[in-house]
Chains A and B, each alone.
Chain A
């Protein structure tokens, strides 16, 4: 057996490498496309970056000097090459407004969004998957209808409205959760001086510092925005889980398992779920990526200093390099998560290897 397994393993290795190379190539091409699109957008928007810097009162000489400094007098193809070259080396340019490197600014804001989106996704998965399965196994019953109703509501309500209403109810009237911002004012000032920002994620940083009072306060602040975002992701995940599960439950192997007398919970939660997980991974990854870029309104309503707030702010200030820097990061996260879910997919489903 030994002499036959070796070539097959090497063949598998080559195939694996080839598929990995293919994936990397797709990744590169997608990223280049992303850069091209952002570059074109930056050139066609009717906002003059030079005017944004020099201000209303500038003379023509001041204007031209800044235009040259930004390299806007160079031919387009050269501007694009410089743009790509900078982006791949991690240089996203300098913010027009603050004159700080955009990559550094994003590194400062991204952890807050990451923390929020991660908790929201965990919530979405923990509630959405079981809800979807329950609905799929009891089609047409009140459970199914309830899941459908809650899901549809989550899907159709504007997130900023949901956020404001949530704040009004849970913070304003009931006082169950902390208000906007990541901490109460008193704690926020303490956090500023007492806690090292090791990860930029407030729950982790306060836990690492052993400041459990602050941790509890941070948790009471993150519950609501994460809940609002999580509601969205839960709505999507539960709908998708239901349809995948329904599809799976009509398969012959399920009937066989049932005929063999296997307990129903085992049929659903072990056999069927294992196969549902394959497409579900993609759904969860996409929903996660969506939250990482799509929490702009939530971050504004909750005064959450994350990437969404950063990009909106840059947009209002007509700081296009910062907007595009943010877009590239979001795009890269999307591409990266897609690749990750592809890899995971291969791990879960042997046929995909």
Chain B
């Protein structure tokens, strides 16, 4: 019911607002005790439908709304733990997977979780074919065969792939957010023109997660509410309020005033100062982005292995991570981020100008000029200047060409760059996501237009790595598979069109009383249900 405003009340309210000036600031601070208030830039959110969400902020949220059949153990890279399936196996044929559902789990609607819901969820991803669908359709699932290849038999979920793959590859893909299981009965009620409830799920939830999506306003924020009877045990905090705060200095102020519990987009310039504040603490978790130099093999003399080798000795890895990239990046010289099955932490290269000069002299390479295409992002422009400086010391004149991210990407996809600094975020938590792009290029011709492959974009032929990458994705023994990726990366590290430099770090600043928050590292998304304050 609407009330009519009256002048006296209006006056009182005005007076109250003005009197806030006299109130001690502590009165305005402190977030509600049962609510976790987070500030982040969440303008990337498009949808909360697990079949569609593929942006960082979106998948961070769906991680708290949905669960998948199997999950990754965050403490042991590459190890699986049960999710909504209590056990799973693959048949001798290598293509038939069987999942036994965990009994006694219910959706937020109260409906029990059945194998039928799991089958519906996976079929739905394939039928809707939104951005993240390729994570599941790469196993040969198509709208035509999905009814047959994803089915329920004797209360168990059966999934049949088109050919044998490494089982760990298949399971890892199921742990991605796109493998979130939705409540078939609830979602079907919201089907509009055969959209399988997609429009409704964009801003509603129907999962088994600890939280339920209560409201979402783009560019403002969202509210999650804890449900009762969550299978992992109920969340301590009853609500999560995510507030869209794009400006990092603003987040800093909100943290200092105690108006938010967690700031996820605090700039590195601010974080040390914030960490020095006893009321706050700084947490660093690895993230999945790998930053690398890309050398276009169509450009002379970037296709000379000696030049590639020299360039690996011309990046001031330590100098950058100890100064302007501090806390934001760590030195990482292989294409699989830390946290992935088969990741290695070898860092054989460091800045050594003399060595680089010697390598070029031995190979008879004369001083030359090359273009470095740079995105107009502060961290990347800083890296470019450092590289321009150190390359220059060895007689390589670097001309910087700065443009927007989209412009540089277009050049890169069209094989028209010289060198470019790029970053790559994995699409799903399996090594194949990076191996298939850094070390796989099945047709190096211009006409092939394999723009999804970074090797192709650099006109680089990975030679023996092609076969090794394909072997790794089909290797059924997980230990052998891990060894294969280690081998591929070491070869790639020593001889390729890439100079891998850094892995990104997520910095989170929070109130000192907040504990249990984890960003998910490089393989998972944020979990709110473990947080207490």
Do these two chains interact? yes
Which residues on A are within 8 Å of B, measured CB to CB?
46-48, 51-52, 55-60, 97-99, 105, 108-109, 164, 167-168, 171-172, 174-181, 184-186, 188-189, 192-193, 196, 198, 207-210, 212, 215-217, 219-220, 223, 300-303, 305, 309-310, 313, 316-318
The answer to whether A189 and B31 touch (CB under 8 A), given A56-B452, A313-B43, is no
Which B residues are in CB contact (< 8 Å) with A175? 23-26, 28, 257
**Minimum Cβ distance to chain B for residue A208 (Å):** 5
In the complex, which residues of chain A have a beta carbon less than 8 angstroms from the beta carbon of B14? Answer: 216, 219
CB closest chain-A residue, reference B427: A57
Complex contacts, B44 vs chain A, CB 8 Å = 317
| Known contacts A46-B407, A48-B410, A215-B13, A310 near B219 by CB under 8 Å | yes
Cβ-based interface call for B409 (8 A): yes
A301 touches B259 (CB 8 A): no
Q: List 21 A-B contacts (CB under 8 A).
A: A47-B404, A52-B406, A57-B452, A58-B451, A58-B452, A99-B46, A164-B250, A167-B250, A171-B253, A175-B28, A176-B20, A176-B21, A180-B250, A180-B253, A188-B241, A192-B215, A207-B10, A305-B220, A310-B219, A313-B43, A318-B404
The reply to whether A192 and B223 contact each other, CB–CB distance below 8 Å, is: yes
Q: Whole-angstrom distance from the CB of A306 to the nearest CB of chain B? A: 9
A105 to B217, CA, bound (A): 11
Assuming the A-B contacts A179-B259, A188-B241, A300-B247, are A305 and B3 also in contact, with contact meaning beta carbons closer than 8 angstroms in the complex?
Answer: no
Complex contact A189–B17 (CB within 8 A): no
Q: Return the chain A residue nearest B3 by Cβ.
A: A210
Cα distance, A2 to B161, chains bound together (Å): 95
Report B484-512 CB contacts with A as 1/0, cut-off 8 Å. 00000000000000000000000000000
Complex CA–CA separation, A209 to B25 (angstroms): 27
Residue B131 lies at the interface, judged by CB distance under 8 Å to chain A: yes
CB distance from B533 to the nearest CB of A (A): 13
User: From DSSP, what is the main secondary structure of chain B's interface residues?
Assistant: mixed
Q: Which residues of A contact B451 (CB under 8 A)?
A: 56-60
**A300 CA / B41 CA spacing, docked (Å):** 11
User: Would you call B76 an interface residue if the criterion is a C-beta within 8 Å of the partner chain's C-beta atoms?
Assistant: no
Q: Is A171 touching B12 in the complex (CB atoms < 8 A)?
A: no
**Given A58-B451, A175-B25, A208-B2: A189 and B253 within 8 A (CB)?**
no
List chain A residues, Cβ under 8 A from B12: 212
Asked if B421 is an interface residue, CB under 8 A from chain A, the answer is no
Q: What residues on A are CB-neighbors of B23 within 8 Å?
A: 175
Question: Contact at B245–A185, with CB atoms within 8 Å?
Answer: no
Min CB distance B204 to A, Å, is: 14
Residues in B with CB closer than 8 Å to A46 are 403-404, 406-407, 410
Expressed in whole angstroms, the Cα–Cα distance for A52 and B413 within the complex equals 13
Nearest CB on A from B104, distance (A)? 31
Query: Are A313's CB and B13's CB within 8 A?
Result: no
Q: How far is the CB of B449 from chain A (nearest CB, A)?
A: 5
Q: Which 10 A-B pairs have the closest CB atoms?
A: A175-B25, A210-B3, A57-B452, A219-B17, A176-B21, A216-B16, A207-B5, A212-B13, A216-B17, A185-B37
Which among B218, B254, B404, B409 is the interface contact of A179 at CB below 8 angstroms? B254
Distance, CA A310 to CA B260, complexed state (A): 23
Q: Is the CB of B24 within 8 A of A209?
A: no
Question: Once bound together, how far apart are the Cα atoms of A287 and B215, in whole Å?
Answer: 36
**Residues in A neighbouring B10, C-beta threshold 8 A:** 207, 212, 215
Q: Closest chain A residue to B55 by CB distance?
A: A97
- In the complex, what residues of A have CB within 8 A of residue B17's CB? 216-217, 219-220, 223
| B-chain residues with CB within 8 Å of residue A215 when the two chains form the complex | 10, 13
**Complex: how many Å from CA A52 to CA B409?**
11
B254 nearest in chain A by CB position: A179
Within 8 A of A (CB), among B226-282: 239, 241, 243-247, 249-250, 253-254, 256-257, 259-260
In the bound complex, how far is the Cα of B427 from the Cα of A186, in angstroms?
36
Would you call A186 and B31 a contact (CB within 8 A)? yes
Inter-chain contacts of B24 with A (CB < 8 A): 175
A171-B253, A172-B256, A219-B14 known; A188 and B243 CB under 8 Å?
Answer: yes
Report whether B406 and A48 are in contact in the complex, using a CB–CB cutoff of 8 Å.
Answer: yes
Given contacts A168-B253, A208-B3, A220-B17, contact A98 B46 (CB under 8 A): yes
Q: Is the CB of B9 within 8 A of A212?
A: yes
B57 an interface residue at 8 Å Cβ cutoff?
A: no
Given contacts A48-B406, A167-B250, A305-B219, A180 and B245 within 8 Å (CB-CB): yes
Which chain A residues border B338 with CB–CB below 8 Å? none
Measured between beta carbons, the chain B residues less than 8 angstroms from A98 are: 46, 218
B32 to chain A, nearest CB (A): 5
Do B43 and A303 have beta carbons less than 8 Å apart? no
- Determine if A185 and B219 form an interchain contact, defined as CB atoms under 8 angstroms apart: no
Flag if A55 contacts B13 (CB, 8 Å): no
Q: Is the CB of A184 within 8 A of B5?
A: no
* Contact call B406/A305, Cβ cutoff below 8 A: no
Minimum CB–CB distance for A60 against chain B, Å: 5
**B404: which A residues are within 8 A, CB to CB?**
46-47, 318
| CA of A212 to CA of B2, assembled, Å | 13
In the complex, which residues of chain A have a beta carbon less than 8 angstroms from the beta carbon of B2? 196, 198, 208-210
Q: Are A309's CB and B223's CB within 8 A?
A: no
Residues of chain B contacted by A184 (CB below 8 angstroms): 28, 259
B217: chain A residues at CB < 8 Å are 108, 192, 305
Contact call A177/B134, Cβ cutoff below 8 A: no
